[in-house]
Each structure stands twice: as structure tokens, then as C-alpha cells.
Structure 1
Amino acid sequence: MTSNFSIEWNELTPTWKNFQVEPFSNEIHVVRINISKNLHQVSNHKNLLTYPEKQKLSRIIRQEDKNIFLCSQVMKRIVCGHYLNFPHDEISFDFTENKKPFISGQPDFHFNISHSGDWMTMIISKYPCGIDVEKIQPDFDFEGVIQLTFHPEEIGYIFQNPDQTKAFFRIWTIKESFLKATGVGLIDNLSDLNMMKNSTPLANLNPWQIQSFIIDGNYWCSICYQAQNPKIKFYDY
């Protein structure tokens, strides 16, 4: 996989504003949704779930996991409905063979979601895009998985960083957002995938752009897209 793409990534500090639907012809829109604060609203929209989703919800044991699943299923319909000007209950999703959701008949509407802890995040664009958010866990033993999931250059970046755990979760979200943007999904040889900057520069391909930022002080979030210098807007729902 490292033979046919190039990567550029940076860190930014977003300015969040209240959610509103705006045109996004050459923009990337990022929406963050606090699960706890939106749980009451989400619970009132259980009717938006499909029958299989309701069945899956009933099988989830932990209440926290139920809340996350319910929020992700409901809010992706509500947000997509706002952008497409569709009734929320008319939003239905299809899936690629790698289980990336999309809306049929909307070739210029791309979205992706991620959740971790108390946050759900969503990216909306006219271009293929991906997003990943991960809560930074200070006590996480990343050395137990790093050799299987990270390229040697990525491992070097992590161990050279003063805050190795924070660096681990940043690279993890960068890698996940790229895999989700490209539609590849999880692959067996994650350690072969090198996400370091300009790891494989190719003159004839637009590089994948990745932006990383901190949410709520202890979450890394990364977004990935293949647009040229889009304006990025950040919304609180």
C-alpha cells in the first residue's frame, strides 16, 4: 500500500461554533457530538433505527455501549438529513464491501463517523473522507501492540516523542482516518502501512491530507481527505 499514495499531515487548533447547515462545495465540515449531552434527544428518536439496528441495540449489555450505538445511529441520520434536506426517517444507508456507509444517489455527499468515550465525531464533504477519534488513555500499554500495528518509522516517531502515549494515539487516529477515507477498512498488515509525512511522495497523485486536533483536552481526532486546500469548519451539535 505504501507504493501508491503520499501523505501530508499537520496539527491544528479548531474553533468550534454552534451547528448550522452551510454549503460545503469546497469545504470540509467536522461535527462533534457530546453523547451525554445529546442522550435525551437521541432517546426520543429511537424510531429512526431500522429493525436490525433495534435488534442489535437490545442485545448490547453495557448501558454505555447502548448509548454510544444509539447516538451514532440516530445522529448520523439527523446530520445527514440536515445537509441533504431530507426527513430524518427517509435517510437510509448502504455499505461498501468494507462496511463504509454511504447514501445511494448522492455521489457528491461523503461522510464518515467515529466515536470514543463521550464523543461522537462526523466529517462531511463532497470528497472521499475519513475521521477517527480516540480517547487518550495514559495507562494504556501500547508497547504490547505497537510492533504488530505500526511501521518502524511510526514507532520511531512515537518513542522519540516526550509524551509517547499521546503520540501513539495521534498516529493511531491518523492511520485509522486514512483507512476509512480510502474505504480500505482494517487490513491484516497494518505494520506495512507507513503514515509518516511524505513517506511515499508521488508527483502524479494528489496527496492525502490529514489534520489532527485535540478535543476536550484528552481526545485525539484526525480527519483525512483528498481535496486541495479546502476550508475546514468545526461545529458543536
Structure 2
Amino acid sequence: MGVRHRRALFASRVSRVRPDPADAAGVRVWRVDLDRAGARRGWRLLSCAERERALAFADPVERRRYVVAHAALRTVLGGLCGVPADRLGFGRDGSGRPCLLPLGRRPVPDFNLSHSGAWALVATAPPGARVGVDVEQVRARFDHLALARRFYQPEEVARLRATGPEGFFRLWTAKEAYVKASGVGLAGMSDVLVREGSATHATVLSRSARFPECRVRWLDVAPGYAAALVTTALVMTALVTTASTPAPRTG
């Protein structure tokens, strides 16, 4: 199997959730099956620091999933920016959020990565907008109400008595996606209120002066998982496709 074919095969393991095809500047989310994509093909895309973090995982399954998730992030961003995936540089913005280092004078997209269990999500937003995404594997055997009392508003805790763990993780992903988009940190999660509007959309209200209100889109990732997207962009995710990402370019 040739190098180009292996790269294309890795990219084909990443399926995309995208906005209306008529709007190329909207928010996009790529869904990554961490147990199907090849870690060996993704390893060469990672930086030295990313490889060191991967090797720190004692569990080989978690190590492989980390490699695949971060290689997918580089593949997506490299394709959007027209830059070889292994040439991208990452840093932190003023809020402590991960960001792309400048690529000359070109504005760079905002992005966010989340992974849990066998799935990862990569979200991107146009320059100037913010995006946060979270995916969580639903776990039934834990005291979700005790954790909810610490991080949730009283009216949210009351709703959870009827919805159980699934409802807990549904709200959690919305709150964490907001925290990741805004940069307020987990300490600000208790100040966030999720107002559910429909089965797929909601609004996040916060005491944050910069981002007092953001829109939420819940995402259907896989059975047994909850996921949510929060963005300040005008265009929200609209549909799920099976389109693959561009094959990763390397320098």
C-alpha cells in the first residue's frame, strides 16, 4: 500500500458533521472513530510534545486513541488552512484556550477537540468566532445527582430526577462545551444555566460578561454517547454527512 493511499485511508476514517453546504464559512464538526483509524499512520503527524504525552499513557488503548484524535485534529486543520498537518503549531490564547499559531497574515480558524471512549469530535469555526465541543460516554453507575448539585443550577438538578444519567450527560456536554468555547474554566460551570429549547437545540446563559448567552446544538455521535456544540458563530451545525476529510498533507 502506497504512502498516499495510507494517508487517504486514515482520512477516510474521519466523518464530518457540517453546516448547510451553501455556507462554507460555518461551524463544522468532524466525528472520529478512534478504534478504526490507524495510530501508526497518525503518529508521524504529531509534534515531539504530542508524542511524549502519548507515551505517558500506561494503557495502550488510551495511548492509541490519543494519537488518532490529535492526528485527526491536525488533518482537519491542515486541510482547512492549506498547510501540511505536521507543520502546524499550537499555543494558548489570552483565555488559556488552545489555538493555532499564526500562519503569516492569514487569519486562522478557531477549533476545539474532545474525546471520550471510542469517539472524538473536532469542531472548527471561522476566524473571529469561538467554538467548544464535548463528547462523553454515558456511565450509568455513578451518583450523578451528587455531582449535579455541585455544578448545576437548582432547576437543572430538579429536571435530572426524571431523566437520570442520560439527562445528566446531556446537560454536562452543553456546559463543558460552553466552558471550552468561552474559556471561563470549570470553576465557571456552576454559573452556567442550560435552557432547553428542543430535542436538538438549547441556549446557555452565563454570568460571563463577554459571553452571557450562546447557542447549543446537541450532536448524535453514537449509541451510549452524549455530545454538544457551543459557538458564538452565526451558522450552526445542520446535518451529518459521511464525507471524509482531505488526505493529510505532510511537509
TM-score (norm 2): 0.75
What is the one-letter code of the residue matched to 1:157?
R
Which segments of 5 or more consecutive residues in structure 2 lack a partner in the other structure? 1-13, 197-202, 245-251
58 and 141 in structure 1: CA distance in 2 versus 1, 3 angstrom threshold: same
In the other structure, the counterpart of 2:43 is 46
Q: How many residues align?
A: 214
SS of equivalent residue, structure 1 residue 37: coil
1:93 to 90, 113, 121: 90
CA contact (8 A) 1:175 1:195 kept: yes
C-alpha separation between the residues in 2 aligned to 1:201 and 1:90?
37
* 2:145 is the alignment partner of 1:139: no
Give how far 1:99 is off: 4.0
Give how far 1:55 is off: 2.0
46 and 24 in structure 1: CA distance in 2 versus 1, 3 angstrom threshold: farther
CA contact (8 A) 1:30 1:121 kept: yes
Which segments of 5 or more consecutive residues in structure 1 lack a partner in the other structure? 1-16
CA contact (8 A) 1:57 1:66 kept: yes
CA contact (8 A) 2:15 2:241 kept: yes
201 and 130 in structure 1: CA distance in 2 versus 1, 3 angstrom threshold: closer
C-alpha separation between the residues in 1 aligned to 2:61 and 2:101?
31
C-alpha separation between the residues in 2 aligned to 1:70 and 1:217?
23
C-alpha separation between the residues in 2 aligned to 1:98 and 1:68?
27
Give how far 1:61 is off: 0.4
1:48-88 Cα offsets, whole Å, 9 max, x none, are 22222222222210112212221222111111111111111
Moved more, 50-59 or 166-175: 50-59
In the other structure, the counterpart of 1:190 is 189
C-alpha separation between the residues in 2 aligned to 1:229 and 1:145?
33
90 and 137 in structure 1: CA distance in 2 versus 1, 3 angstrom threshold: same
What is the one-letter code of the residue matched to 1:169?
F
* 2:151 is the alignment partner of 1:149: yes
SS of equivalent residue, structure 1 residue 57: helix
142 and 56 in structure 1: CA distance in 2 versus 1, 3 angstrom threshold: same
Q: CA RMSD in A?
A: 2.9
Identity of aligned residues (%): 21
CA contact (8 A) 1:214 1:221 kept: yes
Give how far 1:122 is off: 1.0
CA contact (8 A) 2:179 2:189 kept: no
